[in-house]
Amino acid sequence: MQISFATSAPAATLALPVEKDGLERLATGELGADALGVVTGAARASRFDGEAASVVEVFVSEGISVRRVLLIGAGAGSESDYERAGGALTARLLTSGVESVAVDFAAAAPTPKAVARFAAGAAQRGWRYDIYRTKLPEKAKPTLTAITLLNTPEGSEAAWAPQKALTEGLELTRMLVTEPPNVIYPETFVARVLADVAGLGLEVTVLGETEMRELGMGALLGVSQGSARDARLLALKWNGAGPGDPALALVGKGVTFDTGGISLKPGPGMEDMKWDMGGAGAVVGTMKALAARKARANVIGVCGLVENMPDGNAIRPGDVLTSMSGQTIEVLNTDAEGRLVLCDALTWVQRQHHPKTIVDLATLTGAMIVSLGSEHGGCFANDDSLADQLLAAGKASGDLLWRFPLSDAYNKLIDSQIADMKNVGPRGAGSITAAQFLQRYIDTGVRWAHLDIAGMVWAEKPGATYDKGATGYGVRLLDRFVADNFEE
């Protein structure tokens, strides 16, 4: 979506954001008094009061032509309300036949950041991935490509720049999550990401199976050994604060397709497991956003990339794997593979880059979906201040989190009789025991949080800033987390 700023409307279609109970202040230089009266009357007849994301659409006469005018509710005028308003505008016009729309903020009083969030919501809601749809009806094809913003407060265009970078990062994440598993697998994930972030100044490290085997990454490679696709470890490093070790590491689970391995998943719904790399997708999208907006922080993003398949060489329930840390793992369920991938990625980034704070993201457990549905991601942390920072970033960005407990009582549930630990505990507290497993790989003194985002990366119905499908969850959260807590 092309977003631009101007002083006059180049488009016939006009949108007017209206804050709650602000209809009496409705004003624009783009309409005559009679037309504005018709719009106001239609709004009253529709009981429109400016509630966030509400829409009234009117056609008014202009000489011998007709003009489409939309009133877009901006609620209480908060940044999040304006973001929802932008998303509502695009949702209404995306396949309407309208190619461009002018948005006049004359009747509202947004801050520059609110205008930028409006633009971001509009651009993000317009993302579609139709490249495999060869028979899409003409009326179902997107037409809206340009939004022009009028009468914005000073500083709005500057505020849009970081939101534009964030939106581009989201688009990378959504593309990776949406692509089918015969197109995106560990090798092509790396290739697609490197092509997309080229020229942004990110320092890239890619490890193949030979290098990982030499490092002793037996847990990650154990998951991969049943697949014809070789595993990869991808690291993207951004030194926006100058030379030195990264202050923050973001680590993502990148299982590009998850059959469950020998512990085979049920057939119905297995096609959804192409998005089991949503954590890795969020990490690379965040790293692109940080680099594109030149974030003043040192951050590294690490993705453990594998495919989990059942063949004669796949790991079996009962096998014991040795992780890079030296700790041994009794595999009771080969479908609890994400934690095996993450534990070696966590060890690698601590040994190689020594971050003081680590946040990992993973579509890790079905138990998290049972707990929280698709409204919140789960948050586990060994440090209260880190948990508070992430929860606050979630509220500010719209990518919501809910904190879960960690304790010795849960930790004991994954003790093994023949190895250092089991990869699963009992049926109860499945998300917590998965987090306890990962905590065993965190060095003393390192602040760590685990985000279980199993219910968040894919949506069965549209949201405020996304259509059905890939949401890009985690990118907005992490970008805000970095901005609020790590930028100098």
Q: Phi and psi dihedrals of 329, rounded to 5?
A: -130, 120
- What residues form DSSP beta bridges with 322? 328
Cα dihedral sign for 172, 160, 109, 143? negative
Residue in 253, 339, 476, 480 annotated catalytic: 339
3-state helix, strand, coil in the chain (%, to 5): 40, 20, 40
* Contacts made by residues 40-46, CB under 8 angstroms, sequence distance 24+: 43/18, 43/71
User: Measured between alpha carbons, how far is 424 from 415 in angstroms, rounded to an integer?
Assistant: 9
Active site includes 293? no
Q: Around Cβ 432, how many Cβ atoms within 10 Å?
A: 25
Spell out the alpha helix ranges (H) of 46-130.
79-93, 112-125
Spell out the alpha helix ranges (H) of 310-383.
338-353, 366-372
Q: Taking the CA of residue 270 as centre, how many other CA atoms within 13 Å lie in the half-sphere pointing to its CB?
A: 14
Q: Around Cβ 108, how many Cβ atoms within 10 Å?
A: 27
127-136 core/surface letters (b: 16 or more CB in 10 A; e: else)? bbeeeeeeee
Active site includes 265? yes
Cα dihedral sign for 421, 424, 427, 430? positive
* 395: CB partners within 8 A, 6+ apart: none
Contact between 377 and 452 under an 8 Å Cβ cutoff? The reply is: yes
Residue in 164, 213, 265, 395 annotated catalytic: 265
Contact between 226 and 313 under an 8 Å Cβ cutoff? The reply is: yes
CA distances from 197 to 203, 286, 297, 355, 480 (A): 10, 11, 18, 23, 20
- What residues form DSSP beta bridges with 380? 450
| Active site residue ranges | 265, 339
